[in-house]
């Protein structure tokens, strides 16, 4: 048995902060959180010199990183490059995300993620397929020419990943409840996005098994007093919603309202990151359109937001600043809630015995000072 004890930082556990404590790691698993004076004899000590030790971040929406867009590189090395780029910023688990494309590319991306998981690429826990089953009335930066209806062939493909989590974003008004049930019945997590759904259509989809909302407030029907829309359904029906907290996608007041209505247990920070994250090159092509990253936002020439230049470390800092929350609450949104949403809460998302040793050391300014995935 090789034990490592992480000491010298405030430790965030499900029960709250622990001072003068240590996280004892055995291999890739958290063995215990104990008083620093009770570290087992023989354990190698890793002193962190202050700051905060929080659970590794879990990002369910990562289009790219390190100069790679998954749509352009649906292969193992493309997936590896994306995961490596985001790990630098504290993301220890992620879903490489495919923007709307043809089914052949969807199949290649699923095969790449499956192979990456089999090969043990650190941090890759599944895939997010965002489209092409979306509403052309809310395309965002997606190529509406790729949009299509869900059919039996597509359902079989979407449910084909072995060994990992599959999240599918679709427009629920364009998917019959039976189709949603067919997906969720085969283990696929279904989320609403790029949609013109009514509150009633959302409720019907939720009854069929839909549990998430992709980038809340963006590319969906807004909240209105007599038509609560997707936003109202997300906040009223107990769905888990992603938030892009980059200062561009959602006004800080809307972020705070969502938090007051839903709480951190139903909101998760996502990056919607593009290839510019972890790359010096702040320009890339998407469907024949040039996208430029500036001030944390990625935009096409007409000003349309095209994902983000956001990493999870910055998302946590933004949440603290823009939403007026403490680090513990931001950590729940960055780690615990997304892990639970993916059905992985018994493996990651908290610093607790028996969970994978995914840890992020933040300095006093909440900058990422160290990252460990499964203890490495």
Residues identified as active-site: 272
**What's the half-sphere exposure (Cβ side, CA atoms, 13 Å) at 143?**
13
Residue closest to 323 by CA, chosen among 251, 371, 270: 251
264 CB-near residues (< 8 Å, 6+ apart): 325, 329, 332, 333, 337
First-to-last alpha carbon distance for the chain, in angstroms, is: 16
Scan for tokens 């609403």, then name that residue.
Answer: 192
62 with 94: CB under 8 angstroms? Answer: yes
340 with 276: CB under 8 angstroms? Answer: no
Q: How far apart are CA 363 and CA 283, in angstroms?
A: 30
Q: How far apart are CA 362 and CA 10, in angstroms?
A: 10
Give the DSSP letter of residue 335.
Answer: I
Instruction: Compute the chain's Rg from CA coordinates.
Output: 20
Taking each helix axis from N to C end, the angle separating 229-236 and 199-207, rounded to the nearest 10 degrees, works out to 40
Q: How far apart are CA 83 and CA 120, in angstroms?
A: 12
């Amino acid at each position: 048995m090789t034990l490592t004890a992480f000491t010298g930082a405030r430790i965030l556990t499900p029960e709250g902060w622990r001072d003068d404590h240590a996280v004892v790691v055995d291999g890739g698993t958290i063995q215990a959180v104990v008083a620093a004076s009770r570290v087992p004899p023989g354990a190698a000590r890793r002193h962190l010199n202050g700051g905060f030790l929080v659970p590794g971040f879990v990002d369910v929406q990562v289009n790219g990183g390190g100069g790679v867009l998954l749509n352009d590189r649906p292969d193992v090395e493309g997936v590896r490059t994306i995961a490596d780029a985001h790990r630098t910023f504290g993301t220890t688990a992620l879903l490489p995300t495919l923007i709307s494309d043809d089914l052949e590319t969807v199949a290649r991306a699923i095969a790449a993620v499956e192979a990456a998981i089999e090969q043990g690429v650190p941090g890759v826990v599944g895939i997010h397929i965002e489209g092409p089953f979306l509403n052309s009335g809310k395309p965002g930066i997606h190529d509406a020419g790729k949009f299509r209806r869900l059919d039996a062939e597509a359902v079989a493909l979407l449910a084909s990943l072995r060994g990992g989590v599959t999240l599918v974003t679709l427009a629920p008004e364009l998917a019959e409840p039976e189709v949603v049930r067919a997906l969720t019945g085969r283990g696929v997590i279904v989320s609403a996005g790029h949609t013109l759904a009514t509150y009633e259509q959302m409720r019907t989809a939720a009854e069929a098994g839909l549990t998430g909302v992709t980038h809340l407030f963006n590319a969906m029907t807004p909240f209105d007093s007599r038509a609560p829309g997707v936003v109202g359904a997300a906040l009223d029906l107990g769905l888990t919603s992603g938030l892009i907290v980059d200062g561009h996608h959602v006004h800080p007041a809307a972020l705070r309202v969502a938090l007051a209505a839903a709480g951190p247990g139903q909101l998760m920070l996502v990056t919607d990151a593009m290839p510019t994250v972890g790359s010096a090159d702040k320009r890339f092509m998407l469907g024949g359109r040039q996208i430029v990253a500036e001030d944390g936002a990625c935009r096409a020439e007409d000003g349309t937001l095209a994902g983000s230049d956001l990493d999870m470390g910055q998302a946590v800092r933004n949440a603290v600043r823009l939403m007026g929350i403490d680090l513990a609450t931001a950590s729940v949104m960055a780690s615990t809630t997304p892990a639970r949403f993916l059905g992985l809460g018994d493996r990651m998302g908290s610093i607790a015995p028996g969970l994978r040793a995914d840890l992020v050391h933040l300095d006093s300014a909440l900058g990422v000072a160290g990252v460990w995935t499964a203890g490495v």
